[in-house]
Amino acid sequence: MLEKLKSFKAIAAAGVMGAVLLSGCGSESTNGGSSSSDSEKEDSFKVGVTQIVEHPSLDAALEGFKKALEEKGLEVSYDVQIAQGDQNNNQSIANNFAGDGVDLIFANSTPSALSALNATKDIPIVFTSVTDPVGAQLVKSMETPDGNITGTTDTHPDAIPNMVKFINEQFDTGTVGVIYNSGEQNSEVQIEKVKEALSSTDMKLAEATVSNSSEVKQAAESLVGKADVIYIITDNTVVSALESVIQVSNDNDIPLFVGELDSVKRGGFAAYGFDYEDIGYEAGEMAAQILKEGKKPSELPVQYPQNLKLVINKKAAEEMGIELKDEWNDLAEFVE
């Protein structure tokens, strides 16, 4: 009886061992499937998105970036972080992305790109909405970026000169008022270009500077009685609070010129600009080359925006007491 029990236990143990072995084979088959899945996930990436503030132009650039990567067939998870205009937050966001080891950082604005580059020299960085990549010392040159960073700029070389020329030729203007954050490098560059464009006219410049968005309305009010028109460049701080400038312009019949087309849609009178979704999309195409094709940022020249055009807001013209001229029909596109 004892011998039979021992024999039974031996058979049972063998059966369990066989089941384990079979189970191991099944696991291997599943792992094989996992290996295939892992192989597919080679095209799955984590992208850290750092953006200085929320406003329509930057948001549109982010949507364009995502659209490009989706159309290129990449599976991407995004960690989107907004610094709310705070430079300390901005640097913390970039440091966290570097610590997490994301596959790529998408830096949406000049401050965001500077913080990202300060945080890592290894992780690829693609920027957009940057006014002067060379002047900001993000890249060595537009043609040869060098290092781990490249992207698209939001400055078309003809945008500011064309806007100043339009103001000078089409309006009886003695003084152009500007509002900007003197702490934004991209804004300083643009203001210098405005001054350069004004130098060939009889118009003067009235400046109002701010350090945060809560100061924008007061700055706009300070220009009433000083400026015949107001020109808002692509300053992130001011654009994030653009509605307060629009209110002042409407209340005082001051034509409000802006630096990008999203601000025209929000209530600015006119802009020479382009769609920020386009430069975001172009940045996304560059990111796809880096992630999918193994390109290095240093191999991809910085790109300028395309399709510069004049857009006029008819409703804003009415609010600001501007009479539309027939000759503008040949110069501009119109939005209501």
- Amino acid, res. 141: S
Strands in 270-273's sheet, in edge-to-edge order, are: 204-210, 175-181, 229-232, 256-258, 270-273, 309-313, 332-335
| Percentage with pLDDT > 90 across the chain | 84
Compute the distance between CA of residue 214 and CA of residue 151 in angstroms, rounded to an integer. 31
Q: What is the average pLDDT score of the chain?
A: 89
Cβ proximity of 169 and 294 under 8 Å: no
User: What is the band of 21 on the pLDDT scale with cuts at 50, 70, 90?
Assistant: very low
Contact 280, 315 (CB under 8 A): no
pLDDT average, residue stretch 227-248 = 97
Distance in Å from the first CA to the final CA of the chain: 98
Condensed to tens digits (0 to 9), the pLDDT of residues 92-151 reads: 999 999 999 999 999 999 999 999 999 999 999 999 999 999 999 999 999 999 999 999
Confidence at 40, pLDDT banded by 50, 70, 90: very low
**Of 247, 269, 248, 243, whose CA–CA distance to 171 is shortest?**
269
Angle at 179 between CA 323 and CA 207, to 5 degrees: 100
Average pLDDT over every residue of 233-245: 96
CA 222 to chain CA centroid, nearest Å: 30
The two structure tokens encoding residue 128? 């957009």
Domain ranges of the chain: 45-153+275-299, 158-273+309-334
Is 263:271 a contact under the CB 8 Å cutoff? yes
- Which class for 175: exposed (0-12), middle (13-18), buried (19 or more C-beta within 10 A)? middle
CATH homologous superfamily, domain 45-153+275-299: Response regulator (3.40.50.2300)
Question: What's the full length of the chain, in residues?
Answer: 336
What are 260-284's pLDDT values in tens digits? 999 999 999 999 998 899 999 999 9
Least confident of 28-37, 168-177, 232-241, 317-326: 28-37
**Which residues, 6 or more positions from 93, have their beta carbon under 8 angstroms from its beta carbon?**
48, 50, 81, 83, 112, 115
The mean pLDDT of 206-224, rounded to a whole number, is 97
| DSSP per residue, 139-198 | -S-SS---TTEEEEES--TTHHHHHHHHHHHHS--SEEEEEEETT-HHHHHHHHHHHHHH
Would you say the CATH fold of 158-273+309-334 matches that of 45-153+275-299? Answer: yes
Range 158-273+309-334 has CATH code 3.40.50.2300: yes
pLDDT at 141: 97
**Count of CB atoms within 10 A of residue 137's CB?**
11
Beta bridge partners of 80: 49
The string of DSSP codes covering 21-41 is HHHHHHHHHHHHHHHHHHHHG
Strands 270-273 and 309-313: antiparallel
